[in-house]
Amino acid sequence: MKINGKAYRTIWVNEDQWSVTVIDQTKLPHEFETLRIASADDAARAIKDMIVRGAPLIGATAAYGLCMALREDASDAALEAAYAMLAETRPTAINLKWALDAMVDAVKPLPARERVAAAYARAAKICDDDVEICRRIGVQGVGLIRAIADKKSGGVVNVLTHCNAGWLACVDWGTALAPIYMAHDEGIKIHVWVDETRPRNQGASLTAFELGRHGVAHTIIPDNAGGHLMQHGQVDMCIVGTDRTTARGDVANKIGTYLKALAAHDNGVPFYVALPYTTIDWTLDDGVAEIPIEQRSAREVTHMTGRTDKGAIETIEISAPGSGAANYGFDVTPARLVTGLITERGVTPATREGLLSLYPEHKNAG
Amino acid sequence: MKINGKAYRTIWVNEDQWSVTVIDQTKLPHEFETLRIASADDAARAIKDMIVRGAPLIGATAAYGLCMALREDASDAALEAAYAMLAETRPTAINLKWALDAMVDAVKPLPARERVAAAYARAAKICDDDVEICRRIGVQGVGLIRAIADKKSGGVVNVLTHCNAGWLACVDWGTALAPIYMAHDEGIKIHVWVDETRPRNQGASLTAFELGRHGVAHTIIPDNAGGHLMQHGQVDMCIVGTDRTTARGDVANKIGTYLKALAAHDNGVPFYVALPYTTIDWTLDDGVAEIPIEQRSAREVTHMTGRTDKGAIETIEISAPGSGAANYGFDVTPARLVTGLITERGVTPATREGLLSLYPEHKNAG
């Protein structure tokens, strides 16, 4: 994606060829700042504090974190310690674990002196693969949007999305937003309803920022508004991302996704989930019962940061002082509410059979 | 309700016996300020700017606005002009119209010289009646909470509410919160999940403030969280208010209510709506098709006001600059998702038959 005319990925290796730089997503949309990550600790902090977020980008950042840990100490013990530290930074997104496992698989068989180079090569491949996977998700998903545009005889296609599953959540392109970018680029009239996505407002701050830079028409709405819009025919389809998808197609995504899926179901609006294969957890079935849901600080709910009219960045308390708050990061949308899964290999019903038809190599998993 | 040990209603006539004072609800929870209203224009502005809000309190404020208009000019023409100006301040809440109609009924038959005194008497009665009606809603609703407490053998009853339908929305007591206050007062262990209720955060700022002052255990949650809590058995019942209820039991309430009703239905959680008879619009049936939904300023979505750590009140932009926002004030929950209506006359299914069983005088309406 281009920011101010310059092409960016969300993470890249610096000229020193070992440290990496990321975009500080906690500063968006008001400031575009980058942050250098120079150790596994830095990487863990960046993930925990949500300087980087989005399942694929978390995986890529953790992969480079492991590279830097090995650079300091390439022993098995150091590898295991770094793995454990990075794996616990965010409990819900499964491709954090996937990326770390891929790294271990690549370096563990090697003698210590070969591990660092192999690790950097594997991390680079994780990033390159993610870009290609997201591009393919876009190619698969744009057909769904095109079909609606055709049915509406070229009328505007209104898509609702929740949170940010765009290029900022990945290395480039995005998952849920990839089909939207491609539809826009091929001239389909498209308008996106952007759920602001409290408490951290990734929709209003990141998705709106992305869509605006790419010139895609969009409108920010409170998370409360989607049901009303669907009742009144203002939403043609929903597309969201996922942080973990079970073998039968339940999806854990940003808190509030389930409510939109219920409204879509109640109003006959197609509800699609876009995902790379790396977010599928073949070991789980029942997402509500089995996927661990991260709980975060109450302060993310009771306080907000933004820019005053004078340009200063301020943090304010927005709720009654003394009242506590709960902050669950994700909820689970049961497969029965999902119209289809858009993966890099194709679009399929959210069922075990559907997923296995695309990933037959997992027939004996779970 | 008591604030800092002093009993308050939300609106009262001053010692001059003609102007009224209200609590400035835009300043809560950070500051407790009152505002004197000395003309119909003042009253209209207070309603439009949400210095006062909540269907019953809007009605009471409009009633006093009409009194002040008559005080300046008690002619039919002035009465009609003030009615029109006050009626258009908020389009969704029907008891604004109810209160204005009640005022007109009381003063229209009288000669001009008698109208002012009659108007003030009628407005006072609207307020007194509202207090008594809300008290009765509490008495009717507390039985539902008690039944759950009994079933849980005295375990904590978890109630979810959306927006503010407490004493700040009424003259005293509240509608949805009245049963909660009474349950708390009679020693039932109760805990309230308070939807923050974006964009104006009436839950986090007003409901949390009210419950805190009364000593009721509560936790603020983002509007996105209720579905997750219900999936995990953390909600025993929902109680919300309504700004307009159709003859068949559809309810218009703060935007996002519909999403919670869907989640309650999907998880077998009872979903109750508390209302005084003044919010029933016997002329309407299909709420989604027929109830006008107010649209408000985008700035309410893109900006927030709160208190910095240093104690200053600041307004900040919280979304991507240049992105537009839509701001629908209400949505409609179809009667099929409502377990029961709690009115001052009893609890009834959300059906035409149910409502008519409590209000047989409307058998020929609609």
Tell me the per-residue pLDDT of A133-160, one tens digit each, with 9 for 90 and over: 999 999 999 999 999 999 999 899 999 9
Query: How close B320 comes to chain A (CA, Å)?
Result: 5
Q: How many residues does chain B have?
A: 366
Q: Which residues does chain B have within 8 Å of residue A218's beta carbon, measured at their own beta carbons?
A: 323-324
Q: Is residue B49 annotated as a catalytic residue, yes or no?
A: no
CA quadruple B219, B225, B230, B233: dihedral positive or negative?
negative
Taking CB atoms and an 8 Å limit, are B224 and A306 in contact across chains? no
Q: Which residue has the higher pLDDT, A364 or A7?
A: A7
Backbone phi, psi, residue A68, to 5°: -70, -35
Q: What is the pLDDT of residue A152?
A: 96
Distance from CA of B104 to the nearest CA of A (A): 34
Q: Which residue has the tokens 């998880």?
A: B267
- Binned at pLDDT 50, 70 and 90, residue A365 comes out as low
**Residue among B155, B171, B156 nearest B58 (CA):** B171
Question: Does residue A4 carry a pLDDT above 60?
Answer: yes
Q: Do A208 and B288 touch (CB under 8 A)?
A: no
Q: Residues A166-187: what's their mean pLDDT?
A: 97
Across all residues in chain A, what is the average pLDDT?
A: 97
pLDDT of amino acid B4: 76
What pLDDT digit, counting tens, does each position of A20-33 carry? 999 999 999 999 99
Q: Using CA atoms, how far apart are residues B328 and A150, in angstroms rounded to an integer?
A: 29
CB A70 within 8 A of CB A116: yes
Task: Tell me which chain A residues have a C-beta less than 8 angstroms from the C-beta of B304.
Answer: 304, 306, 316, 318
CA B295 from chain center: how many Å?
Answer: 17
- Per-residue HEC secondary structure of chain B comes to CEECCEECCCEEECCCCCCEEEECCCCCCCCCCEEEECCHHHHHHHHHCCCCCCHHHHHHHHHHHHHHHHHHCCCHHHHHHHHHHHHCCCCCCHHHHHHHHHHHHHHCCCCHHHHHHHHHHHHHHHHHHHHHHHHHHHHHHHHHHHHHHHHCCCCCEEEEECCCCEHHHCCCCECCHHHHHHHHHCCCCEEEEEECCCCCCHHHHHHHHHHHHHCCEEEEECCCCHHHHHHCCCCCEEEECCCEEECCCCEEEECCHHHHHHHHHHCCCCEEEECCHHHEECCCCCHHHHCCCCECCCHHHHEEEEEECCCCEEEEECCCCCCEECCECEEEECHHHCCEEEECCEEECCCHHHHHHHCHHHCCCC
A204 at interface of B, judged by CB pairs closer than 8 A: yes
> What pLDDT score does B2 carry?
79
* Interchain pair A220, B196: CB under 8 A: no
Q: With 0-12 CB in 10 A as exposed, 13-18 as middle and 19+ as buried, what is A217?
A: middle
Would you tell me how many other CB atoms lie within 10 Å of the CB of residue A124? 16
A chain contacts of residue B212, beta-carbon cutoff 8 Å: 320, 322-323
Instruction: Please say if the pLDDT value at position B347 is more than 60.
Output: yes
Tokens representing B233?
């058995």
* B200 contacts chain A (CB < 8 A): no
Calculate what percentage of chain B has a pLDDT beyond 90: 96
Question: Which residues contact residue A46 at a Cβ distance below 8 angstroms, ignoring those fewer than 6 apart?
Answer: A22, A35, A37, A52, A61
Query: B216 — contact with chain A (CB < 8 Å)?
Result: no
C-beta atoms of A222 and B199 within 8 A: yes
Question: Would you call B306 an interface residue with chain A, using a CB distance cutoff of 8 Å?
Answer: yes
- The answer to whether the beta carbons of residues B335 and B353 sit under 8 Å apart is no
> Is A31 within 8 Å of chain B by CB?
no
pLDDT tens string A333-359: 999 999 999 999 999 999 999 999 999
Q: Which residues of B255-268 are buried (b: 16+ CB within 10 A; e: fewer)?
A: bbbbbbbbbbbbbe
B318–A201: do the CB atoms touch at under 8 Å? Answer: yes
CA distance linking residue B200 with residue B210, whole number of Å: 16
* Cα gap B20→B65, rounded to integer Å: 9
Nearest to B319 among A208, A301, A317 (CB): A208
* Pick among B230, B259, B310 to test the A interface (most A CBs inside 10 A): B259
Query: What is the nearest CA distance from A222 to chain B, expressed in angstroms?
Result: 6
* Contact (CB, 8 A) for A348 and A358: yes
Nearest CB partner across the interface for A306, out of B197, B304, B326: B304
Q: What residue type is B35 in one-letter code?
A: L
What is the number of CB-based contacts under 8 A between chain A and chain B?
240
Chain A residues with CB-CB distance to B218 below 8 A: 323-324
Q: pLDDT at position B93, please?
A: 87
Residues of A in contact with B201 (CB under 8 A): 318-319
User: Percent of chain B at pLDDT above 70?
Assistant: 99
Q: What are the pLDDT digits (tens) for B57-108?
A: 999 999 999 999 999 999 999 999 999 999 999 989 899 999 999 999 999 9
- How far is the C-alpha of B12 from the C-alpha of B18, rounded, in Å? 10
A317–B contact, CB cutoff 8 A: yes
Instruction: Count how many Cα atoms sit within 13 Å of the Cα of residue A26 in the half-sphere of its side chain.
Output: 14
Strands A324-325 and A340-343: unpaired
Residues of A noted as catalytic: 243
Mean pLDDT of the B335-339 span = 98
Range A235-258 average pLDDT: 98
Q: How far apart are CA B80 and CA B71, in angstroms?
A: 14
Q: Which residues of B touch A232 (CB under 8 A)?
A: 288
What 3-state DSSP class applies to A73? coil
Q: Is residue A197 within 8 Å of residue A254, measured between CB atoms?
A: yes
Tell me the mean pLDDT in the region A191-209: 98
Q: For residue A326, what are its two tokens?
A: 């709960």
ipTM of the complex: 0.96
Q: Can you give the pLDDT at residue A1?
A: 82
What pLDDT digit, counting tens, does each position of B169-199 carry? 999 999 999 999 999 999 999 999 999 999 9
Alpha helices in chain A (DSSP H): 40-48, 55-72, 76-87, 94-107, 112-151, 177-185, 202, 208-214, 226-231, 257-266, 287-290, 299-302, 352-358
Q: Is-contact B176 B239, C-beta < 8 A?
A: yes
Q: Which residue of A has its CA nearest to B301?
A: A222
CB contact under 8 A, A263 and B258: yes
Taking the CA of residue B170 and the nearest CA in chain A, the distance in Å comes to: 19
Q: What is the pLDDT of residue B3?
A: 80
- The three-class DSSP label of residue A313 is strand
Q: Do B231 and A320 touch (CB under 8 A)?
A: no
Taking CB atoms and an 8 Å cutoff, what residues of chain B touch A229?
Answer: 328
Catalytic site residue from B42, B130, B236, B243: B243
Q: According to the model, what pLDDT value does residue B364 have?
A: 78
Which of A319, A328, A337 is the best mutation test for B, with the most CBs of B within 10 A? A319
Using the Cβ of A268 and the Cβ atoms of chain B, whether some distance falls under 8 Å is answered with no
The pLDDT value given to residue B365: 59
Contact A262 B231 (CB under 8 A): no
Q: What is the pLDDT of residue A65?
A: 98
AA identity, residue A319: S
Instruction: Give all strands of the β-sheet with A251-254 in edge-to-edge order.
Output: A280-281, A244-246, A251-254, A330-333
Give B249-289 pLDDT, tens digit per residue: 999 999 999 999 999 999 999 999 999 999 999 999 999 99
Does A11 have pLDDT greater than 60? Answer: yes
**A277-309 confidence digits (pLDDT tens):** 999 999 999 999 999 999 999 999 999 999 999
Confidence check: pLDDT of A248 > 80: yes
User: What does pTM read for this prediction?
Assistant: 0.97
Structure tokens at A123: 């991390």
| Encoded amino acid at A350, one letter | A
Residue B104, number of CB atoms within 10 A of its CB: 18
| Average pLDDT estimate for B200-216 | 96
CA–CA gap between residue A197 and residue A215 (Å, rounded): 21
Is the per-residue pLDDT at A219 higher than 90?
yes
Long-range CB contact pairs, B85-91, < 8 A, 24+: B85/B40, B85/B41, B85/B44, B86/B40, B86/B43, B86/B44, B86/B47, B86/B62, B87/B62, B89/B44, B89/B47, B89/B48, B89/B58, B89/B62, B90/B47, B90/B48, B90/B58, B90/B294, B91/B292, B91/B293, B91/B294
Say if residue A349 is exposed, middle or buried (CB neighbours under 10 Å; 0-12, 13-18, 19+).
Answer: middle
Any chain A CB within 8 A of the CB of B16? Answer: no
Q: What is the mean pLDDT of residues B144-158?
A: 96
Query: Which candidate from A304, A309, A319 shows the least CB-CB separation from B205?
Result: A319
The reply to whether omega before A199 is within 30° of 0 (cis) is yes
Contacts of B228 in chain A (CB under 8 A): 255, 258, 293, 328, 330-332
Are A319 and B204 in contact (CB < 8 Å)?
yes
Residues with Cβ within 8 Å of A207's Cβ and at least 6 positions away in sequence, in order, are A161, A163, A164, A166, A177, A192, A194, A197, A218
Chain B's closest residue to A260, CA to CA, is B259
Q: Which of B28, B260, B307 sits opposite A317 (nearest CB)?
A: B307
- Tell which residue, A133, A139, A53, A128, has the closest CA to residue A89: A53
Question: Mind listing the domains of chain B with CATH numbers?
Answer: 2-129 (1.20.120.420), 139-362 (3.40.50.10470)
